[in-house]
Amino acid sequence: MLGVRRVTVVVGRRGAVVMCLLAVLVPAGCGSVGEVPAGPVGPFPVRPVALDLSGVDLCATLTAEQKAARSIDRERAKVAQVGGKPSPGCLWRSESTGISWTVQIVEASAVTAWVPGESRLVIVDGYGAVREPDAAHNAAGTDPFCQLPVDVNDTQTVRVQVAGSGDQRDGSDPAAVDNVCVLASDFAGEVLDNLRR
């Protein structure tokens, strides 16, 4: 078993191929007994284990300690429409930091979010995720925003979103968006870890 709990890597198109090849060379044994890794789909590495999202309470995907660490004081279950299908989720917000955190289940493979030549591959706890093009969600006068669809099984995606406070920096500032994407990657890692328990 590897000693690293969570590794986040952002690479371009060529790097995605290298990461996929490296993921194939990683020794087996990353999951518990009986877990069978799922094969790679599109640009993603082999999953540590395919996650079954049936009946998941998304508002329980952060622990009380993780909520306290983020100064979260508001929580709301929600259902949005994504691709014409219901997408259950949970939204948390910290009034003191002005940051909001969302996790959703999207009833489609994460590969549908991949835009060749524009998307970047991010690895979160061994799972492939798509960092969508920043211009798709960010503009001058908006809060910095980052969305990471994570490849967790063949037919569903765990999508995390983090929006920064308007009193931080502008959504057109690449550094501000990068900072929010680091928060999104860490958030996704905690959600995935809790989903595997």
Give per-residue pLDDT as tens, 155-177: 999 999 999 865 556 666 777 88
Per the listing, tokens 């949970």 go with 90
Query: pLDDT digit string (tens) for 53-64?
Result: 999 999 999 999
Name the pTM for this structure.
Answer: 0.76
CA atoms of 106 and 109, how far apart (whole Å): 8
- pLDDT at residue 141, as a whole number: 72
Lowest mean pLDDT among 15-29, 140-154, 173-187: 15-29
- pLDDT at residue 2, as a whole number: 31
Mapping DSSP to helix (H, G, I), strand (E, B) and coil, where does residue 83 land? coil
Does residue 2 lie within any of the structural domains? no
What end-to-end distance do the CA atoms of the chain give, in Å?
Answer: 18
Number of domains in the chain: 1
Does residue 4 lie within any of the structural domains? no
124 contacts 8 by C-beta, under 8 angstroms: yes
Q: Is the pLDDT of residue 41 over 70?
A: no
Q: How confident is the model at residue 197 (pLDDT cuts 50, 70, 90)?
A: confident
Does residue 45 lie within any of the structural domains? yes
The whole domain housing 71 covers 10-195
Averaged over 72-87, what is the pLDDT?
94
Strand boundaries in the chain, DSSP class E = 10-11, 74-82, 85-94, 99-106, 120-124, 127-131, 145-151, 157-163
Does residue 115 lie within any of the structural domains? yes
Does residue 3 lie within any of the structural domains? no
Does residue 67 lie within any of the structural domains? yes
- pLDDT at residue 42, as a whole number: 74
Which of left, alpha, beta for 108 (phi over 0: left; psi -120 to 50: alpha)? beta
Does residue 1 lie within any of the structural domains? no
